[in-house]
């Protein structure tokens, strides 16, 4: 699906509030006539997609004084129309646009109604926790404590090192067999939620996975086996300030629900339901606790305040796809890791051997893997960024996970360019595989039943869903083919430490990163330590390839008038093997609106969507399907809003040939392993190890010296 609706609805909520304040002198005494009269003429705030194929279009749009969202593609910009006069201004400009969400207020009110109805009708949901509604921040903290109380051998709560700017503690839960015993060299899987405040399901799914693991240890053989082999770290709420605001200081209330179909139409509360960022009010300054909530009352929806935690990580910080402007939704912050939220995750990952991690977000049904910028982008080292050296491995794991949740398995940059994201730092600094999950089809926090479906899977994914995808990721975390293992003998009770210090590149400079992890040697005097490779992906050698697409076959179909809302299917078959791209173009002469969807036909005749394009009024559509399999396809032309369209539909198969390639030489890096006893370093050795390798480490000097210590 095309991802475009990323602008905070909070802006809209706040604007609405202003508009509605005039309508609602007070809930109980408001004049019914006045309310109704105004409501009839009231403009429902909308989210629209404005077609801006040319620079001139973009510049024109920027002069109109409208609320442009930052989320824009090369040929469109999303805009919030707050009032009828906004809409009139846009219409008069001559720019064409497409209404994405016709009534934002009604949408939130509808969700609130659906949630209340579901919770009232449900005693126990099928989720591992049985919950039937979204958690609040205290709910998350209580749930983690409760899990640790119920099964203290399996679960333990930990504190992240930095409290939030508003002074709140940040907690996580560690789950594994014998979890309170000292570090014993098991690999770590990290699952996170709620970097972005409004993305509530991202925390719910992380927390449900915690319930699932804790409840099923000792019951379910697969989960028991995995928790014997690994430790799982779950931080369900990374951005505690933002989430708390979004969850409690926002939303819109449909008062017709409470006054029994009475006089008041709809009342919006000033709020932060769609806040994205953290609670930084002024760069570089902490503020008294509670400032964020107080301050946000004067800022539309809290939208302007804060730093985007998913642009503040150090890796390539300050590059494309992150804003340098404070009020922007993707504001990167004053410097790499300037925020407590990202410092917390940085220190967590730097102090453990996290071999696989997932950061949950909403929405778009995507599993995103590095890199965050297009491979052709010239990186800070002057070379094209290319694909990560582990492209194959991460793509394969992504494919496994998307077979479970039905999402699309793509690179981060295929959504849009980003820098300073969680996995672009963690993967390049540690080598541990990292993914962003964009959960759910089309809303930041949809009605709660959708959260259940996303976790347990629905339709053809029933019984799989993200639960299965997380288990796949956990399986990858323990798979020795995708990380490294060192083993040997060492003094019992000794502390082994792996340390690495290096310069992590930002877009324009670099900073010092330190990884420092430990384990304790058991009573048998042997150790097995599951670790990440010693050489960072970011400095590994790479092959930079310039490719050219050569058309192999092209078919054109012409279509005639259809009725609005109907579609025409064109069958298309691929017999050629090894095709790199199927490109489908849809063009038509009039400024109408046709959309395009591409399906692959399954053996049983059912269709699976493999591509779509539904962008702009009057703009031609293009869908690109990478590495299409042989078989039957359906090219569907949908009449979205056209009165008399004729169209040309062209399907072209391309082979990519490498026209030139250049080897960029790499570095080889080592871990420094120290063997420590009684606070003394008894031996220090460099460890050079690749992904998938296992090595025996000779620590006999440490053993001998430890003997002499006694
Ligand atoms: O923009 C983001 O931070 C993520 N989307 S969201 O709507 N949840 O805000 C996507 C990030 C994608 N890119 C990488 N993770 N590299
Ligand atoms: Zn997000």
Measured distance CA(413)–CA(356) in Å, rounded: 20
Radius of gyration of the CA atoms of the chain, in A? 27
Does residue 359 fall inside a structural domain?
yes
**Nearest ligand 1 atom to alpha carbon 436:** 15
Q: Of 86, 102, 118, at which residue does a domain stop?
A: 102
Pocket-testing residue among 310, 314, 374, ligand 1, by greatest number of atoms within 8 A of Cβ: 310
Average pLDDT over residues 9-14: 26
pLDDT over 70 percentage in the chain: 85
Q: Of 446, 467, 482, at which residue does a domain stop?
A: 482
**Nearest ligand 1 atom to alpha carbon 276:** 9
Q: Is 438 a catalytic residue?
A: yes
Pocket-testing residue among 306, 358, 365, 438, ligand 1, by greatest number of atoms within 8 A of Cβ: 438
- Three-state SS across 518-551? EEECCCCCEEEEEECCCCCHHHCCEEEEEEEEEE
Window from 348-352, 368-372, 596-600, 621-625 with minimum mean pLDDT: 621-625
Ligand index nearest the alpha carbon of residue 421: 1
Residue 366 and residue 415 in contact, taking contact as beta carbons nearer than 8 Å: yes
Task: Say yes or no: 408 and 324 in one domain.
Answer: yes
What SS3 class is residue 620? coil
| Interval 640-650: pLDDT, tens | 666 666 889 99
Pocket-testing residue among 357, 418, 427, ligand 1, by greatest number of atoms within 8 A of Cβ: 418
- Following DSSP, what letter does each residue of 672-692 receive, concatenated? EEEEEETTEEEEEEEE---TT
CA nearest ligand 1 atom 3, residue: 310
CA 310 to centroid of ligand 1, rounded, Å: 7
Task: Say yes or no: 458 and 357 in one domain.
Answer: yes
What SS3 class is residue 225? helix
Task: Say yes or no: 588 and 692 in one domain.
Answer: no
CA 198 to centroid of ligand 2, rounded, Å: 8
Q: According to the model, what pLDDT value does residue 66 have?
A: 73
Does residue 269 fall inside a structural domain?
no
Does residue 272 fall inside a structural domain?
no
Measured distance CA(623)–CA(601) in Å, rounded: 17
Average pLDDT over residues 674-702: 97
* Ligand 1 neighbours (beta carbon < 6 A): 6, 196, 199, 310, 361, 368, 372, 412, 415, 418, 421, 423-424, 436, 438
Annotated catalytic residue within 108, 341, 423, 438: 438
Task: Say yes or no: 586 and 517 in one domain.
Answer: no
CA 332 to centroid of ligand 1, rounded, Å: 13
Q: Of 57, 77, 102, at which residue does a domain stop?
A: 102
Q: According to the model, what pLDDT value does residue 251 have?
A: 54
In terms of average pLDDT, the best of 9-23, 486-500, 555-569, 589-603 is 486-500
Which residue in the block uniquely carries the two structure tokens 């005749």?
605
pTM over 0.75: yes
Closest listed residue to residue 336, CA positions, set 346, 328, 326, 327: 346
Provide the 8-state DSSP code for 2. -
| Interval 409-423: pLDDT, tens | 999 988 788 999 999
CA nearest ligand 1 atom 2, residue: 310
CB neighbour list of residue 530: distance below 8 Å, 6 or more residues apart: 185, 186, 187, 353, 355, 478, 480, 483, 484, 485
- Three-state SS across 423-466? HHHHHHHHCCEEEEEEECCCCCCCCHHHHHHHHHCCHHHCCCHH
Task: Say yes or no: 310 and 189 in one domain.
Answer: yes
CA nearest ligand 1 atom 14, residue: 412
Task: Say yes or no: 476 and 490 in one domain.
Answer: no
Q: According to the model, what pLDDT value does residue 303 have?
A: 54
Confidence at 9, pLDDT banded by 50, 70, 90 = very low
CA 593 to centroid of ligand 1, rounded, Å: 29
Residue 472 and residue 354 in contact, taking contact as beta carbons nearer than 8 Å: no
CA 239 to centroid of ligand 1, rounded, Å: 15
Task: Say yes or no: 438 and 570 in one domain.
Answer: no
61 phi/psi in degrees, rounded to 5: -60, -35
Q: According to the model, what pLDDT value does residue 61 have?
A: 84
pLDDT at 18 over 70: no
Task: Say yes or no: 610 and 699 in one domain.
Answer: no
Does residue 276 fall inside a structural domain?
no
Task: Say yes or no: 221 and 344 in one domain.
Answer: yes
* Residue 603 belongs to domain with CATH number: 2.60.120.380
CA 361 to centroid of ligand 2, rounded, Å: 4
pLDDT at 145 over 60: yes
What SS3 class is residue 188? strand
Domain region containing 689 = 485-532+674-708
Ligand index nearest the alpha carbon of residue 358: 1
Task: Say yes or no: 325 and 198 in one domain.
Answer: yes
* Residue 184 belongs to domain with CATH number: 3.40.630.10
Does residue 542 fall inside a structural domain?
no
Ligand index nearest the alpha carbon of residue 357: 1
Closest listed residue to residue 309, CA positions, set 172, 161, 504, 164: 164
Token duo for residue 233: 């770290």
* Residue 88 belongs to domain with CATH number: 3.30.70
Pocket-testing residue among 1, 321, 421, ligand 1, by greatest number of atoms within 8 A of Cβ: 421
Measured distance CA(609)–CA(628) in Å, rounded: 12
Q: According to the model, what pLDDT value does residue 641 have?
A: 66
Does residue 165 fall inside a structural domain?
yes
Confidence at 8, pLDDT banded by 50, 70, 90 = very low
List the shell of residues around ion ligand 2, using CB closer than 5 Å.
Answer: 196, 199, 361
CA 444 to centroid of ligand 2, rounded, Å: 9
| Interval 276-289: pLDDT, tens | 899 999 999 999 99
CA nearest ligand 1 atom 13, residue: 412
Task: Say yes or no: 455 and 502 in one domain.
Answer: no
Does residue 262 fall inside a structural domain?
no
Does residue 664 fall inside a structural domain?
no
Ligand index nearest the alpha carbon of residue 373: 1
Measured distance CA(420)–CA(126) in Å, rounded: 37
Task: Say yes or no: 50 and 76 in one domain.
Answer: yes
The domain total for the chain is 4
Measured distance CA(283)–CA(12) in Å, rounded: 25
CA nearest ligand 1 atom 12, residue: 412
């Amino acid at each position: 699906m095309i991802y475009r609706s990323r602008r905070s609805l909070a802006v809209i909520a706040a604007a609405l509030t202003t508009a509605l304040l005039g309508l609602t002198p007070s809930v109980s005494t408001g004049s019914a006539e006045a309310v109704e009269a105004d409501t009839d003429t009231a403009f429902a705030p909308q989210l629209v997609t404005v077609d801006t194929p040319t620079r001139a279009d973009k510049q024109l749009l920027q002069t109109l004084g409208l609320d442009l969202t930052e989320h824009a593609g090369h040929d469109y910009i999303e805009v919030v129309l707050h009032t009828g006069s906004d809409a009139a201004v846009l219409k008069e400009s001559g720019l064409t646009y497409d209404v994405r969400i016709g009534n934002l207020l009604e949408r939130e009110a509808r969700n609130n109604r659906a949630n209340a109805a579901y919770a009232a009708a449900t005693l126990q949901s099928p989720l591992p926790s049985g919950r039937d509604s979204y958690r609040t921040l205290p709910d998350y903290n209580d749930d983690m404590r409760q899990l640790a109380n119920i099964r203290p051998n399996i679960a333990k709560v930990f504190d992240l090192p930095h409290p939030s700017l508003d002074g709140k503690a940040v907690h996580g839960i560690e789950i594994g067999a014998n979890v309170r015993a000292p570090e014993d060299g098991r690999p770590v899987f990290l699952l996170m939620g709620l970097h972005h405040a409004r993305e509530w399901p991202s925390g719910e799914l992380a927390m449900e996975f915690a319930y699932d693991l804790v409840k099923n240890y000792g019951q379910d053989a697969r989960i028991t086996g995995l928790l014997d082999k690994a430790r799982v770290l779950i931080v369900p709420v990374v951005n505690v300030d933002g989430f708390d605001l979004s969850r409690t200081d926002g939303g819109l209330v449909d008062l017709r629900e409470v006054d029994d179909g009475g006089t008041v139409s709809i009342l919006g509360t000033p709020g932060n339901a769609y806040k994205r960022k953290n609670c930084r009010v002024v760069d570089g300054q902490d503020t008294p606790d509670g400032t964020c909530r107080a301050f946000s009352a004067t800022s539309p929806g809290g939208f302007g305040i804060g730093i985007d935690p998913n642009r503040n990580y150090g890796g390539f910080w300050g590059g494309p796809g992150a804003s340098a402007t404070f009020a922007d939704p993707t504001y990167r912050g004053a410097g790499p890791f300037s925020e407590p939220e990202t410092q917390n995750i940085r220190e967590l990952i730097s102090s453990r051997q996290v071999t696989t991690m997932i950061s949950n977000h909403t929405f778009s049904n995507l599993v995103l893997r590095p890199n965050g910028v297009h491979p052709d982008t010239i990186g800070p080292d002057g070379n094209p960024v290319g694909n990560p050296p582990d492209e194959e491995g991460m793509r394969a794991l992504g494919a496994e996970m998307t077979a479970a949740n039905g999402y699309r398995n793509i690179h981060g940059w295929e959504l849009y360019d980003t820098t300073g994201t969680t996995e672009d730092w963690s993967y390049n600094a540690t080598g541990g595989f990292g993914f962003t999950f964009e959960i759910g089809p089309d809303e930041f926090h949809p009605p709660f039943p959708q959260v259940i479906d996303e976790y347990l899977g629905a339709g053809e994914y029933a019984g799989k869903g993200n639960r299965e995808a997380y288990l796949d990721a956990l399986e990858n975390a323990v798979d020795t083919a995708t990380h490294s293992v060192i083993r040997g003998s060492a003094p019992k009770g000794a502390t082994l430490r792996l340390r690495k210090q290096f310069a992590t590149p930002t877009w324009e400079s670099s900073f010092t990163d330190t990884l420092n992890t430990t384990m304790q040697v058991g009573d048998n005097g042997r150790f097995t330590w599951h670790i990440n490779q010693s050489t960072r992906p970011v400095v590994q050698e790479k092959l930079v390839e310039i490719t050219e697409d050569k058309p192999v076959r092209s078919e054109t179909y012409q279509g005639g008038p259809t009725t609005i809302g109907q579609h025409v299917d064109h069958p298309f078959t691929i017999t050629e093997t090894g095709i790199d791209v199927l490109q489908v173009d849809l063009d038509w002469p009039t400024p109408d609106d046709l959309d395009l969807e591409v399906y692959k036909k399954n053996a049983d005749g059912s269709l699976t969507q493999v591509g779509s394009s539904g962008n702009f009024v009057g703009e031609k559509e293009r869908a690109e399907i990478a590495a299409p399999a042989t078989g039957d396809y359906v090219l569907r032309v949908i009449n979205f809003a056209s009165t008399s369209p004729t169209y040309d539909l062209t399907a072209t198969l391309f082979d990519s040939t490498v026209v030139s390639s250049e080897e960029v030489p790499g570095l080889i890096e080592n871990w420094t392993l120290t063997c420590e006893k009684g606070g003394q370093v008894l031996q220090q050795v460099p460890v050079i190890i690749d992904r998938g390798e296992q090595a025996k480490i000779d620590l006999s000097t440490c053993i001998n010296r430890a003997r002499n210590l006694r």
